[in-house]
Structure 1
Amino acid sequence: MTETPAKAPLALAAHNPDVLTCIANLSNDEVFTPPEFANRMLDTLELAWAEAHDGASIWADPTVTFLDPFTKSGVFLREITARLTKGLEGEIPELRERVDHILTKQVFGIGITSLTALLARRSVYCSKDATGEHSIASSFDRDWGNIWFERTEHTWAGAKCAYCSAPRDRFDRDDALETHAYAFVHTHDVAARLARMFGADVKFDVIIGNPPYQMAGGAGGSSDSSIYQLFVEQAIRMEPRFLSMVIPSRWMAGGRGLDAFRAMMLTEGKVRSLVDFPDAGEAFPGVQVKGGICYFLWDDVHAGMCDVVRVEGGIEHRQPSRDLGEFDVFVRDERAIGILHKVLGRDEKSVVELVSGDTPFGIATNFTAFVAAPGPGTVALHRIGQGRRTVSYVEREQVRKNTQQIDAWKLLVPKAYGAGESFPHQILGREIVASPPSVCTQSYLTIAPFASEAEATSFASYYRTRLFRFLVSLRKITQDALRSTYTWVPRQSWDRIWTDAELYAKYGITDDEIAFIESVVRPMELNPDA
Structure 2
Amino acid sequence: MIEQASFALRGRNPDVLTCIANLSNDEVFTPPEFANRMLDTLAEAWAADNEGANIWADSSVRFLDPFTKSGVFLREIAKRLIAGLETEIPDLQTRVDHILTQQVFGIGITRLTSLLARRSLYCSKHATGEHSVATGFANDDGNVWFERTEHDWDGAKCSFCGAPRALFDREPELENHAYAFIHTSDIKARIGELFGADMQFDVIIGNPPYQMTGGAGGSSDSSIYHLFVEQALNLDARFVSMVIPSRWLAGGRGMDDFRSKMLNGGHIRHLIDYTKMSTAFPGVDFEGGVQYFLYDQKYEGPCEYTLFQGETQMPTVKRELGAYDIFIRDHVAVGILDKVISRGEPSISDILTNREPFKMESNFRDFSKDTKAGDISIYYTDKGNRSVGYMARGSIEKNAHLIDNWKILVPKAYGERGAIPAMVLGKPIVAGPPSVCTGSYLFFFCDSEEEAKSILSYYSTKFFRLLVSLRKITQDAFRPMYSWVPQQCWDREWTDAALYEKYGLTEAEIEYVETVIRPMEIGA
Shorter-chain TM-score tier: over 0.9
| Shift of residue 156, structure 1, vs aligned partner | 1.5
Greater Cα offset, 60-69 or 255-264: 255-264
Equivalent residue for 2:187? 190
Whole-Å Cα distance in 2 between the matches of residues 353 and 313 of structure 1? 32
Equivalent of residue 209 in structure 2, options 198, 212, 230: 212
Compared with structure 1, are the counterparts of its residues 48 and 14 closer, same or farther at alpha carbon in structure 2 (3 Å cutoff)? farther
Summarize deviations over 1:56-79 as a string: whole Å, max 9, x none.
221121111110011011010001
1:449-491 residue CA offsets vs partner (Å, 9 max, x unmatched): x122211221111111111011111111121111111111111
Contact 2:276 2:309 in 1 (8 A): yes
Look up the SS of the partner of 1:318 in the other structure. coil
Which residue of structure 1 lines up, in the alignment, with residue 43 of structure 2? 46
Alpha-carbon contact 1:70-1:210 (below 8 Å) kept = yes
Deviation at 1:16, TM superposition (A): 2.9
Aligned 8 A contact 1:8 1:95 in 2: no
1:492 corresponds to 2:492: no
C-alpha distance in structure 2 between counterparts of 1:147 and 1:11, whole Å: 20
State yes or no: 1:452 paired with 2:448: yes
> 1:69, 1:184 within 8 Å by CA — same for their partners in 2?
yes
Query: Paired residue for 1:297?
Result: 294
Residue of 439, 452, 467 corresponding to 1:471 = 467
Alignment match, 2:352: 355
**CA drift at 1:201:** 3.4
In the alignment, what sits opposite 2:511?
A: 515
Indicate the larger mover: 9-18 or 107-116: 9-18
Secondary structure of the residue that 2:3 maps to in structure 1? helix
Kindly provide the amino acid, as one letter, of the partner of residue 57 in structure 2: A
CA distance in 1, matches of 2:237, 2:216: 31
**Aligned counterparts of 1:261 and 1:91: Cα–Cα separation in 2:** 42
Alignment of structure 1 residues 257-336 onto 2, 5 Å: 257-312=254-309, 314-336=311-333
Q: Which runs of 5+ in 2 are unaligned?
A: none
State the AA in 2 paired with 1:298.
Y
**Contact 1:7/1:96 (8 A) holds in 2:** no
1:497-508 maps to which residues of 2 (within 5 A)? 497-508=493-504
Matches within 5 A, 1:23-62: 23=20, 25-62=22-59
Q: Are residues 34 and 71 of structure 1, via their aligned partners in 2, closer, same or farther at CA, if it must alter by over 3 Å?
A: same
Q: State yes or no: 1:120 paired with 2:117.
A: yes
**How far does residue 104 in structure 1 lie from its aligned partner after superposition?**
0.6
Following the alignment from structure 1 to structure 2, what is the Cα–Cα distance between the partners of residues 83 and 171? 39
- Counterpart in 1 of 2:96? 99
Counterpart of 2:359, as a letter, is: G
**1:85 and 2:82 aligned:** yes
The alpha-carbon distance between structure 1 residues 376 and 222, as it changes in their structure 2 partners (threshold 3 A), is: farther
Q: CA deviation at 1:41?
A: 0.3
Measured in 2, the distance between the counterparts of 1:219 and 1:463 equals 30
- In structure 1, C-alpha distance between the alignment counterparts of 2:313 and 2:134, rounded to whole Å: 39
Q: Report how many aligned residue pairs link the two structures.
A: 524
CA contact (8 A) 2:27 2:210 kept: no
SS of equivalent to 1:62:
coil
Structure 2 residue aligned with 1:156: 153
**Secondary structure, aligned partner of 2:94:** helix
Shift of 1:179: 0.6
Shift of residue 247 of structure 1? 0.8
In the superposition, relative to structure 1, how do residues 167 and 5 fare at CA in structure 2: closer, same or farther (>3 Å)?
A: closer
Q: Secondary structure in 2 aligned to 1:311? A: strand
Whether the 8 Å CA contact 1:216–1:222 is kept in 2: the answer is no
- TM superposition shift of 1:209: 0.2
Task: Establish whether residue 226 from structure 1 lines up as the match of residue 234 from structure 2.
Answer: no
The match for 1:239 is 236
For residues 221-247 of structure 1, the C-alpha deviation after alignment (integer angstroms, 9 at most, x for no partner) is 993221111111111111111000011
Alignment check: 8 A CA contact 1:28 1:214 kept = no
Match of 1:387 among 365, 384, 388: 384
| CA distance, structure 2, for counterparts of residue 216 and residue 200 of structure 1 | 34
Mapped contact 1:165–1:218 kept (Cα < 8 A): no
* Distance in 1 separating the partners of 2:155 and 2:311: 47
What's the C-alpha RMSD, in Å, of the aligned pairs? 1.9
Distance 1:24 1:296, change over 3 A: closer
Residue 115 of structure 1 aligns to a residue whose secondary structure is helix
What is residue 340 of structure 1 aligned with on the other side?
A: 337
**1:18 aligns to 2:8 (yes or no):** no
Amino acid at match of 1:311: F
C-alpha displacement at 1:211, in angstroms? 0.5
Residue 191 of structure 2 aligns to a residue whose secondary structure is helix
Equivalent-residue separation in structure 1 for 2:294 and 2:218 (angstroms):
35
Opposite residue 493 of structure 1, the aligned amino acid is: C
Q: Check whether the contact 2:250–2:326 (CA below 8 A) recurs between aligned residues.
A: yes
Q: Deviations 1:70-107 (Å, cap 9, x if unpaired)?
A: 10110100011111111112222211111111111111
SS at match of 2:215: strand
* Aligned residue identity for 2:492: R
Q: In structure 1, what residue type is equivalent to 2:243?
A: V
Shift, 1:115, TM fit? 0.9
| Cα distance in 1 for residues equivalent to 2:219 and 2:457 | 36
Structure 1 CA distance, aligned partners of 2:228 and 2:283? 25
Q: Once the two structures are superposed, what CA deviation does each residue of 1:476-511 show, in whole Å capped at 9, x if it has no partner?
A: 112111111111111111111111111111111233
Greater mean deviation of Cα atoms: 182-191 or 22-31:
22-31
CA distance in 1, matches of 2:369, 2:252: 36
Distance 1:493 1:277, change over 3 A: same
Cα drift, residue 376 of structure 1: 4.6
Distance 1:527-1:455 versus aligned 2 partners, 3 A rule: closer
Other structure's SS at 2:182 match:
coil
Question: Aligned to 2:221, what secondary structure does the other structure show?
Answer: strand
**Pair 1:136 & 2:133 matched:** yes
TM-score normalised to the size of structure 2? 0.96
Query: Does the C-alpha gap of structure 1 residues 153 and 397 become closer, same or farther in structure 2, counting only changes over 3 Å?
Result: farther
Cα offset, 1:136, TM superposition: 1.2
1:8 and 1:96 in contact (8 A); partners too: no
SS of residue in 2 equivalent to 1:245: strand
Cα distance, 1:416–1:122 mapped onto 2, change above 3 Å:
same
Partner letter of residue 87 of structure 1? G
- How big is each residue's C-alpha offset from its partner over 1:252-282, in whole Å with a ceiling of 9 and x where there is no partner? 1122222222212211111110001111111
Q: Distance in 1 between matches of 2:309 and 2:347?
A: 31
- Supply the distance in 2 between the matched residues of 1:524 and 1:313 (Cα, whole angstroms): 20
